[in-house]
Amino acid sequence: MKKKIRIAIYSRKSKYTDKGDSVGNQIEIALKYIKEHYPDSEYDVEIVIYEDDGFSGGSIDRPKYKKFLIEEKIKPFDVLICYRLDRIGRNIADFSSLMEKITELGTSFISIKEQFDTKTPMGRAMMYIASVFAQLEREVIAERIRDNMIELAKTGRWLGRTDTIRIWL
């Protein structure tokens, strides 16, 4: 008899680019992972996909992320899969909170690229270390953007949006 398993796939991308880590590619990679690790001959797999395209990992204010949390609380998944750890989020506190919630509900976490085994203390520790670097990367990018905007402003270049022009008298 096949073992029943519920798997959630979460994918996120801050903005559209032509790079290969689009939400579609992330989902394809996750589906391939599921097919390899949970073969049809042994598992009856239910897959639910959550896609947040155009949302930053610096905040948990994402519609599909919130939907996952609600559905996870009602009927926990066996496994949560994402392409990379930073697709879940780039904030250590938010990431830790999610891990605590899903662990309490018995949900395993799989990050395909980092290949952490969250069932072991070392795997969990490595996962949290990687989340620190995800937050660091987000903060460095934000700092770089601020510095570039300051330099552009010094040269008199327009930095605002054209649809929000305000005239101060």
DSSP strands (E only) in 54-137: 79-82, 108-111
Say what the pLDDT of residue 118 is: 66
H-helix or E-strand spanning residue 11: strand 3-13
Q: What is the mean pLDDT of each run of 10 residues along the chain (169 residues)?
A: 95 69 87 95 96 82 94 96 82 79 90 74 71 68 73 71 52
| Burial grade of 86 (CB within 10 A; 0-12, 13-18, 19 or more) | buried
Q: Cβ contacts of residue 123 below 8 Å, gap of 6+? A: 116, 117
Say what the pLDDT of residue 169 is: 47
Q: Could you tell me the CA-to-CA distances from 96 to 9, 20, 100, 161 in Å, in that order?
A: 18, 27, 6, 35
Which domains are present in the chain? 3-154 (3.40.50.1390)
CB 6 within 8 A of CB 78: yes
CB 52 within 8 A of CB 87: no
What's the longest Cα–Cα distance across the chain? 76
Whole-model pTM above 0.85?
Answer: no
